[in-house]
Structure 1
Amino acid sequence: MQIRGLLWRTLALSFALGAPARAAASDLPPVLADSIGRERGLAELARLAVEDDDATAQAARQRLRAAGPAGLAAFERAHAAALTAASDAYLAAADAPVDRRDPADLADPARARLLGALDAVCGQRDCVLSRLYWHTDLDEAVRTARREGKPVLSLRLLGDLRDELSCANSRFFRAILYPDPAVRAVLRDRFVLHWASERPAPKITVDLGDGRQIVTTITGNSAHFVLDPGGRPVDVVPGLYAPADFVAALQRAEALARRTAVLTGEALREALADHHEARVRALDEKFKSLARAAGQRVRPLPRAPRPGAGDLRAGQAAPLAISKMAVEAPLLGATGEPVDRLAERWERIADVTTPAVELSRASLGLMRTQQWRSGDPTRDAGDRAAAIVALRRTLALDTLRNEQEIHREIHRWWARGATAPRDLQSLVRRVYDELFMTPARDPWLGLADPSLYGGLVGGGRRTQAHL
């Protein structure tokens, strides 16, 4: 019986490669026959991708992934009802009472296989609420962008977007930005998506000695780099934004990428300079308006000082990503690393901007399923409500800092008289070196300050062979 089952799966997988479909359509024109073969092949692969047999499922998922967005579309068609049910379960979770059980059997093994297959095809963890296809080959993404006439949105992060423990910012993207209906529509319809890892995400484990552990990532930042259909960078959206502000930033960048796609040389430089100078002026006016609304004296924002190579500390980089810092600051403090305080002006302006921050039901549902629960419904409901209030506040602060400080500096790079890197990799390096304060030249990401004594040999640094 096992041999018969293995033979059946082998024949089914062979069928999915397209040969039987082409034979059945041999009386059709070659182009049409190939098209039918591919369609039938992807449909069969989509069915095999959720098989109990791991080898069969893995092979099918890889073939669907290699087929690009068409592979994702085939998977969505083949499992439309089950995927809709899974999405609806997350939406229902947004309003569900807090108890010790996952709502709507989200942990059911069959559903776990379905969502695992979807994530593998998308190239992103927690893809069920966004259904986005992410290229991991930049050249292929640019070829697709040229063919479709779309800009490329290239996410750079620490770690792997498919892993739970990618950097904190990318986890917020997956939970707060990508599932949001407005964000999802812009990403799916207006851009070709790509992601790449800058370096592994540092992880920290607190072992409480009784079987309990806290495991999370620490330090690092992420950014979305906007490229025109030819692969030339035109803008960067740095760090985490509230969903509505992220959509606005993407729409401005998309319009710029499309407008400049046909330009070269001096005409391109002038068009980019015009746009980025206008954005600096718009940010100036926005900051004045926000400062007045917060009851503050209006004064120019000073350019944030950037530390030299010997001054880098994780505690200085942490406030550049407020939502991430809220998670990491207690753990940084436990390591003896002091975290710089946020300027009071941002706190006061956040009092004005926080009420406008909205989270989608999709995001709230995903957060609900990830929340740690004590088992006391009253306490857990209070913790959840407090977490949402705190998150909206930190999102407001993140948006302010990222737009008014970091994005403003990026706009200045493209303004007249400035020198913006013309290739993507140089731009990525400059963002991480100068703005995120996590340069590639620092192997410890500011976490090993030689000026601090902790009573450990070598300051606690260890280097192990990594295969």
Structure 2
Amino acid sequence: MLGNKTLANSCFALFSLGAIAISVISSPQIARASEQPSLDSLVQQAASKDQVTSQQAIAKLREFKNVGVDAFWNAYQKDLPNNSQLRATLDAICQQKDCDASRLYWYKDLEAAKTASKESGKPILSLRLLGNLNDELSCANSRFFRTALYPNAGVSQLLRDRFILHWQSERPVPKVTIDFGDGRKLEQTLTGNSIHYVLDSDGRPIDAIPGLYSPQAFMENLKDAEGAEKLLNNTNDVKLRREVLVKYHRDRLAKIERNWQSDLKRLNLPAQRLLEPIAIRTPANVDATIASRLTFGKMAVEMPTLTRTPSAPISEVIPPSPFAKLSDANWARLARLFQNRVYLDQGSLKLMERKLSPSASMTTVVNSFERAIAQDTVRNEYVFHAQIHSWFANGEFIGNENLNGNSLALNSLNRRVYDQLFLTPASDPWLGLVNENVYTGISKVN
């Protein structure tokens, strides 16, 4: 009797397990999942020359985020340097031009980035730029980020491991084409600047890193801001948030002030204030040549064209540049104090070599670019970043309110940066490139 009962129970158990298995297999969700292509299959489809097949696979690979980026890169890493189609496919997966050099996954939707930040516990690094990060001709500084920063091994690892990446276009980037009349055309961008915002998981600003920095200085600023974000520990206590951020920025501003006075002394220059009053500009006295001079690296690219572009009348009163407290020669001397800390690693050098003309001197180009990065680093830190620290230290842009999921503090900070620091206000649709009171002999622009 006992043996038969045991046998019956065993049969019942097997029957139950079988029923469960049949139920699981027949589940619509599981069935659909089993029909989904594998990651390897998606990688192959993304590389297809059939555009529809490729685009569908790219969209699915983006759902895998960094895993999708790595899967495609691992499959085609040997072919990528010499295959523009494969590079363009990887760029689409990453949403960043030259992604084969950085392997970074970028969100374009801030809400999705905030969700990922909450899930991972990582802060957001949000880039604002003119144009699009996945286009060859985005603004000059964003192109320099793709060369000097994102391919750098240390920067790339830091961004992948400790930040959620997001970019958003501030506005389209102006482009100019020079037709030489013999089939050759030169196309380049004019004016514009870029900034990295460090945000918490609600999209509220912690810090902002304006313009181009050396990889070493960029990482130092990122780590400082990350430390401040961790102190907040996702708190919604408005008073505590204000206290932490005000102290953080006051400490950073005091450190920059000490470094500024020390550097002036090393150069045998008289002591002077770090921060000068900002001259408020209107569309009538915004000039693209002045805005371009705020960024040393891209000035070398844009100035030859800008000086030949009709702009503001010479007689018009233009407020002084925020960099006027030192002459160009003294800014260069100051940058040389830190030149040994500015160097491009192999990831950056390989990308530069791929983009250079075969007749160009790699050594000359690299040395010139590194000198420009050194100048932009000290200028951005002692002028732009110091001013941003000052705003935060005074309790500005530390809001807790949200409107339709968008941080009002971030939007206000970004507007102030582009209006007052970068001199490309939204109120000027022409970015200082057009003045209606200058006669050009050409039919009016629309």
* TM-score (ref. length: structure 2): 0.84
Residues 250 and 393 of structure 2 are in contact (CA less than 8 Å); yes or no, is this contact kept in structure 1? yes
- The residue aligned with 1:423 is 409
Residues 130 and 138 of structure 2 are in contact (CA less than 8 Å); yes or no, is this contact kept in structure 1? yes
| 2:383 aligned with 1:405 | yes
- The residue aligned with 2:212 is 240
The CA deviation at 1:412 is: 0.9
Match of 2:335 among 350, 356, 362: 350
- The residue aligned with 2:268 is 295
The one-letter code sitting in structure 2 at the alignment partner of 1:321 is T
| 2:244 aligned with 1:271 | yes
CA 418–47 in structure 1, closer or farther in 2 if over 3 Å, else same: closer
Q: Which moved more, 1:67-76 or 1:198-207?
A: 67-76
Residues 228 and 258 of structure 1 are in contact (CA less than 8 Å); yes or no, is this contact kept in structure 2? no
CA 304–326 in structure 1, closer or farther in 2 if over 3 Å, else same: farther
**Structure 1, residues 439-465: CA drift from partner, whole Å, max 9, x if none?**
11100001113454433343xx2x3xx
Structure 1 vs Structure 2 CA RMSD: 2.7
The CA deviation at 1:299 is: 2.1
CA 26–427 in structure 1, closer or farther in 2 if over 3 Å, else same: farther
**3-state secondary structure, aligned to 1:358:** coil
CA 167–419 in structure 1, closer or farther in 2 if over 3 Å, else same: closer
Residues 191 and 288 of structure 2 are in contact (CA less than 8 Å); yes or no, is this contact kept in structure 1? yes
- The residue aligned with 1:229 is 201
| 2:58 aligned with 1:72 | no
Task: Give, in whole Å, the separation in 2 of the partners of 1:72 and 1:279.
Answer: 36
- The residue aligned with 1:440 is 426
Task: Give, in whole Å, the separation in 1 of the partners of 2:122 and 2:332.
Answer: 38
Q: Which moved more, 1:140-149 or 1:389-398?
A: 389-398
Residues 73 and 100 of structure 2 are in contact (CA less than 8 Å); yes or no, is this contact kept in structure 1? no
- The residue aligned with 1:368 is 353
Task: Give, in whole Å, the separation in 2 of the partners of 1:428 and 1:266.
Answer: 23
CA 419–69 in structure 1, closer or farther in 2 if over 3 Å, else same: closer
**3-state secondary structure, aligned to 2:183:** coil
- The residue aligned with 1:200 is 172
| 2:286 aligned with 1:312 | yes
The CA deviation at 1:162 is: 0.8
- The residue aligned with 2:303 is 329
Match of 1:129 among 96, 101, 107: 101
- The residue aligned with 2:18 is none
CA 29–390 in structure 1, closer or farther in 2 if over 3 Å, else same: farther
CA 305–114 in structure 1, closer or farther in 2 if over 3 Å, else same: same
Give identity over the alignment, percent. 40
The one-letter code sitting in structure 1 at the alignment partner of 2:53 is T
| 2:357 aligned with 1:389 | no
* TM-score (ref. length: structure 1): 0.80
Larger radius of gyration: 2
Residues 200 and 234 of structure 2 are in contact (CA less than 8 Å); yes or no, is this contact kept in structure 1? no
The one-letter code sitting in structure 1 at the alignment partner of 2:302 is E
Task: Give, in whole Å, the separation in 1 of the partners of 2:354 and 2:70.
Answer: 26
Task: Give, in whole Å, the separation in 2 of the partners of 1:219 and 1:333.
Answer: 12
Task: Give, in whole Å, the separation in 1 of the partners of 2:122 and 2:273.
Answer: 37
CA 36–241 in structure 1, closer or farther in 2 if over 3 Å, else same: same
The CA deviation at 1:60 is: 1.0
- The residue aligned with 1:98 is none
CA 132–203 in structure 1, closer or farther in 2 if over 3 Å, else same: same
Match of 1:117 among 74, 89, 94: 89
- The residue aligned with 1:44 is 41
Once the two structures are superposed, the pairs formed by residues 87-126 of structure 1 within 5 Å of their partners are 106-107=81-82, 111-126=83-98
**Structure 1, residues 234-277: CA drift from partner, whole Å, max 9, x if none?**
11111110100000011111111121133321111111000000
Task: Give, in whole Å, the separation in 1 of the partners of 2:51 and 2:37.
Answer: 22
List alignment gaps of at least 5 residues for structure 2: 1-20, 315-320, 400-407
The one-letter code sitting in structure 2 at the alignment partner of 1:373 is P
The one-letter code sitting in structure 2 at the alignment partner of 1:449 is N
CA 241–38 in structure 1, closer or farther in 2 if over 3 Å, else same: farther
Residues 178 and 186 of structure 2 are in contact (CA less than 8 Å); yes or no, is this contact kept in structure 1? yes
**3-state secondary structure, aligned to 2:125:** strand
CA 186–38 in structure 1, closer or farther in 2 if over 3 Å, else same: farther
The one-letter code sitting in structure 2 at the alignment partner of 1:353 is F
The CA deviation at 1:425 is: 1.7
Residues 397 and 413 of structure 2 are in contact (CA less than 8 Å); yes or no, is this contact kept in structure 1? no
What is the total number of aligned residue pairs between the two structures?
405
Task: Give, in whole Å, the separation in 2 of the partners of 1:47 and 1:231.
Answer: 36
Residues 420 and 427 of structure 1 are in contact (CA less than 8 Å); yes or no, is this contact kept in structure 2? no
